[in-house]
């Protein structure tokens, strides 16, 4: 057998060394191969080499590439192209097929690597790891010139076998190093007694390792610590809980936390959520509800049922006593108003009282019993009854009352009569027609004549009186109390246009009547008083209106009588005033005397008339607004000081007040005509029109006045008082004027009579006037303790004057009879 093989080898060697007799050129070979391909004798793909002098099949190319990779372990595709002499395109294409057919190969970034290559790398890494204790994957990736993920993927399967170490956070550690770090993490975690963020702990450990390793120390990633920590927690070597992966709460802290909460809650029956937040409990409500099922969560506090029962009992007691309760003051200072309101909603007795309207809650935590609120209403209404409140509310009450009175038969005839008299004043022909029915005997005063002439005027002015009556409703119903205290209270109830007492006024009254609110610092309207006033205001207004209506109904007849009497007295006084005014024309040339007469007439006749008007209008306004006024005797004279006149005038509504002030000002002036115009304006504004003096009335009044003066002169026994009456009677006889003259103007008045009397009569009058002046001078000059001489002179002068008095009386009475 061996011989045969040796023979075959010799023949094969001879054949190779023998020279062919037929030689083919390269071109012929190329054409031959092309022909064979056309004939499909060669049915596989042939590749040209880069030199173009060789052909290579794909199988051969793959075999050469596999052989090269197995030989080197890691070969670049570019190097394979150079080695095989084939174009890079075909090499890359076949590289992908090789990797797909051979599981031990991988293609990464143009390089083919085998498992044997990575095994050798793993062995080298293991040797280095044992020397250094830790290696960073980034360092390995840089050395191998591959990606970090690739290094991690090839090393992870070899950990524990070829690589004796642990991979954490991109670092390779030896088991000894891991055990060391594990011990460090365990010690640090066990040393923590309060909730801690683990990232802070890992930072501290990293800093410690840096200090221990010096400048060459390698930083350990926090994830490595976290992994070790999680393992320790799972194994139970560290007691505690982890929240959100990084918030560590040691078991010792949780135990102390629960003990602190239990101690506070058991001692106080409440605990605020803020305390739990300070203790590190993030969800206090859930924590407390799970630990104390019997407790109740409030807005900022968690309370035990016993505290709710305590508040319930205290509030129920306040309601039963008819008082009120400040729930917040019964609770600890840490409770908020919202907490108190929530607790009240959990009190059964309070809720039952609210449903049955036995109590009401204001300002979230103030509980007021219904009886206490009723007491407030009653006392505030009583305060209102003492005030003369003006404004449209009072006007409305007056309008309602007038409608009621009309339904009951209390018609507005008084106002109609007054307005019809105003129409009389505008046309003398009306008054003439009205006076035709006056056939009776004169009584000596203007009131009698006016009362007789009124009915005709009412018939002729009925249409105009309706308009005036409507005006009187709008004006006379707005008067107010004249006393300064009442006016101040009225101002506090806002301006005159308000329809009812304001909330601010009610708040002020509650504070005054119930000082306990202010004592406890509850005078701020925003707390309890404002809502309380808003709640009580409708009830207060309703009660006040009912009482006012009842009182106004009772006062209706009295108001009617008051207006009737006032109208009659004004008619009488104003007609007399007009009568006396005409006598002032005789002294227009004597300015000084005219001023004296004007002032005298304003002081003696006009002042009582104004006082009577202001007093009765003020009383009427009080009655209209439901204020109790003691009825004064009708015969009582009325005297008002200048200051009170102004105060009363200012208490009226603005249109009437302005005109009343004008009258008061004119009363202090020097012109009767100005006063008369102002007085007419006030009476018209007050729906009390006055009748003007016509000639017929003037004659009637003069006749009555003359008879009255004649009777007074006949009966007069005082010689001093006789002179002005005699002068007035002579002026009626001579000038047909009723003169009211003071003592200072008597001499001028007598001088005016010189041309109207005979010389003897005028001499008697002047002598009497001179004797009267002398007597008055003696009386004023005499000391307090008169001596005998002075007394004798006064007595003799009085006797002389008395003897002349009879001559003067006979002279005047004789002239009176002759003129009659």
Domains in the chain: boundaries: 44-102, 174-255, 269-375, 554-628+638-693, 695-819
> Residue 186 pLDDT > 80, yes or no?
yes
Interatomic CA distance for residues 148 and 141, integer angstroms: 5
* Range with lowest mean pLDDT among 62-71, 244-253, 534-543: 244-253
Other C-beta atoms closer than 10 Å to the C-beta of 348 total 11
Name the more confident of 7 and 493. 7
> Residue 596 pLDDT > 70, yes or no?
yes
> Residue 718 pLDDT > 70, yes or no?
yes
> Residue 193 pLDDT > 90, yes or no?
no
CB 670 within 8 A of CB 598: yes
Name the more confident of 143 and 315. 315
Q: What is the pLDDT of residue 297?
A: 93
Interatomic CA distance for residues 238 and 219, integer angstroms: 25
* Range with lowest mean pLDDT among 82-91, 475-484, 512-521: 475-484
Q: Do domains 44-102 and 174-255 have the same CATH topology?
A: yes
Q: What is the pLDDT of residue 507?
A: 83
What is the tens place of the pLDDT at every residue in 354-367?
Answer: 899 888 888 788 88
pLDDT band at 458 (very low <50, low <70, confident <90, very high): very low
Q: How far is CA 83 from CA 47, 76, 93, 102, 361, in A?
A: 15, 11, 16, 21, 100
pLDDT above 90 coverage of the chain, percent: 5
What is the tens place of the pLDDT at every residue in 270-304?
Answer: 999 998 888 878 888 998 999 899 999 999 999 99
What is the tens place of the pLDDT at every residue in 744-781?
Answer: 888 888 888 888 778 878 888 888 888 888 878 877 77
> Residue 462 pLDDT > 50, yes or no?
no
Q: What is the pLDDT of residue 312?
A: 92
Alpha helix stretches (DSSP H) within 717-787: 719-735, 746-752, 759-781
Q: What is the pLDDT of residue 534?
A: 83
Q: Which of 160-174, 396-410, 466-480 has the highest mean pLDDT?
A: 160-174
> Residue 100 pLDDT > 50, yes or no?
yes
Could you tell me which CATH number the domain at 44-102 has? 1.10.10
Q: How many CA atoms lie within 13 A of 673 on its CB side?
A: 7
Q: What is the pLDDT of residue 417?
A: 37
Architecture of domain 174-255: Orthogonal Bundle (1.10)
Quote the mean pLDDT of the chain. Answer: 75
Q: What is the pLDDT of residue 304?
A: 93
CB 181 within 8 A of CB 224: yes
What is the mean pLDDT of the segment spanning 156-166?
82
Q: What is the pLDDT of residue 790?
A: 66
pLDDT band at 457 (very low <50, low <70, confident <90, very high): very low
Interatomic CA distance for residues 527 and 523, integer angstroms: 8
What is the tens place of the pLDDT at every residue in 656-690?
Answer: 888 889 988 988 888 888 988 988 898 888 888 88
* Range with lowest mean pLDDT among 523-527, 566-570, 703-707: 523-527
> pTM here?
0.42
What is the mean pLDDT of the segment spanning 614-639?
73
What is the mean pLDDT of the segment spanning 576-599?
86
| Of the candidates 409, 399, 454, the residue with the CA atom closest to the CA atom of residue 691 | 454
Give residue 52's region: left, alpha or beta (phi > 0; psi -120 to 50).
left
């Amino acid at each position: 057998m061996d011989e045969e093989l040796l023979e075959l080898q010799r023949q094969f060697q001879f054949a190779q060394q023998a020279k062919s007799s037929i030689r083919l050129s390269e071109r012929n070979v190329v054409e031959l191969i092309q022909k064979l391909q056309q004939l499909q004798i060669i049915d596989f793909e042939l590749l040209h080499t880069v030199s173009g002098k060789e052909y290579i099949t794909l199988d051969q190319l793959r075999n050469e590439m596999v052989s090269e990779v197995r030989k080197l372990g890691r070969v670049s595709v570019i190097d394979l192209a150079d080695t095989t002499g084939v174009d890079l395109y075909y090499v890359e294409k076949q590289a992908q097929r090789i990797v797909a057919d051979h599981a031990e190969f991988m293609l990464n970034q143009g390089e083919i690597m085998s498992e044997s290559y990575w095994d050798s790398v793993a062995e080298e890494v293991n040797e280095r790891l044992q020397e250094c204790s830790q290696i960073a994957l980034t360092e390995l990736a840089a050395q191998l010139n591959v990606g970090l993920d690739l290094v991690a993927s090839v090393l992870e399967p070899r950990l524990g076998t070829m690589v004796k170490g642990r991979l954490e956070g991109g670092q390779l550690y030896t088991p000894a190093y891991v055990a060391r770090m594990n011990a460090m993490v365990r010690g640090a975690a066990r040393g923590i007694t309060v909730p801690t963020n683990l990232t802070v702990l890992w930072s501290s450990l990293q800093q410690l390792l840096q200090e221990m390793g010096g400048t060459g120390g390698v930083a350990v990633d926090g994830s490595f610590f976290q992994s070790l920590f999680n393992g320790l927690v799972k194994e139970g070597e560290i007691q505690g809980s982890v929240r959100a992966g990084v918030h560590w709460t040691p078991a010792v802290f949780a135990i102390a936390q629960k003990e602190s909460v239990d101690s506070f809650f058991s001692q106080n029956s409440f605990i605020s959520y803020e305390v739990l937040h300070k203790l590190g409990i993030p969800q206090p409500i859930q924590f407390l509800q799970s630990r104390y099922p019997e407790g109740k969560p409030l807005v900022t506090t968690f309370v035990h049922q016993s505290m709710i029962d305590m508040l319930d009992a205290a509030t129920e007691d306040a309601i039963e006593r008819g008082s009120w309760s400040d729930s917040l003051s019964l609770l600890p200072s840490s409770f908020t108003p919202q907490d108190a309101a929530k607790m009240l909603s959990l009190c059964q007795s309070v809720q039952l009282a609210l449903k049955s309207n036995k109590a009401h809650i204001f300002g979230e935590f103030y509980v007021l019993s219904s009886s206490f609120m009723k007491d407030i209403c009653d006392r505030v209404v009583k305060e209102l009854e003492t005030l003369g409140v003006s404004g449209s509310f009072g006007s409305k009450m007056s309008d309602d009352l007038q409608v009621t009175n009309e339904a009951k038969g209390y018609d507005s005839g008084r106002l109609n009569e007054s307005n019809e008299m105003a129409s009389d004043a505008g046309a003398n022909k009306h008054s003439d027609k009205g006076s035709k029915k006056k056939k009776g005997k004169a009584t000596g005063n203007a009131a009698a004549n006016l009362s007789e002439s009124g009915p005709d005027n009412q018939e002729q002015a009925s249409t105009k009186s309706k308009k005036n009556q409507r005006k009187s409703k709008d004006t006379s119903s707005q008067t107010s109390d004249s006393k300064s205290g009442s006016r101040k209270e009225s101002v506090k109830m806002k301006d005159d246009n308000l329809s009812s007492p304001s909330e601010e006024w009610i708040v002020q009254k509650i504070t005054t009547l119930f000082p306990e609110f202010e004592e406890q610092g509850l005078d701020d309207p925003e707390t309890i008083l404002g809502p309380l006033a808003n709640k009580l205001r409708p009830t207060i207004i309703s009660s006040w209106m009912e009482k006012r209506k009842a009182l106004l109904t009772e006062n209706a007849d009295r108001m009617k009588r008051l207006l009737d009497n006032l109208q009659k007295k004004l008619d009488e006084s104003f007609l007399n005033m007009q009568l006396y005014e005409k006598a002032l024309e005789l002294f227009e040339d004597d300015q000084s005397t005219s001023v004296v007469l004007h002032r005298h007439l304003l002081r003696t006749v006009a002042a009582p008339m104004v006082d009577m008007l202001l007093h009765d209008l003020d009383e009427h306004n009080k009655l209209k607004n439901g204020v109790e006024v003691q009825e004064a005797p009708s015969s009582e004279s009325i005297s008002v000081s200048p200051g009170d006149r102004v105060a009363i005038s200012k208490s009226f509504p603005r249109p009437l007040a302005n005109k009343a002030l004008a009258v008061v000002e004119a009363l202090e002036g020097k012109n009767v005509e100005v006063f008369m115009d102002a007085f007419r304006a006030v009476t018209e504004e007050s729906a009390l029109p006055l009748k003007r003096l016509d000639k017929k009335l003037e004659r009637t009044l003069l006749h009555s006045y003359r008879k009255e003066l004649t009777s007074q002169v006949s009966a007069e026994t005082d010689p001093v008082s006789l002179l002005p009456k005699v002068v007035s009677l002579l002026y009626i006889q001579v000038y047909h004027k009723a003169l009211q003259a003071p003592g200072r103007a008597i001499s001028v008045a007598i001088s005016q009579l010189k041309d109207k009397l005979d010389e003897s009569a005028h001499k008697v009058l002047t002598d009497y006037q001179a004797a009267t002046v002398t007597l008055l001078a003696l009386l004023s000059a005499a000391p307090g303790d008169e001596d005998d001489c002075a007394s004798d002179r006064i007595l003799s002068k009085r006797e002389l004057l008395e003897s002349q008095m009879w001559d003067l009386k006979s002279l005047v009475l004789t002239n009176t009879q002759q003129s009659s």
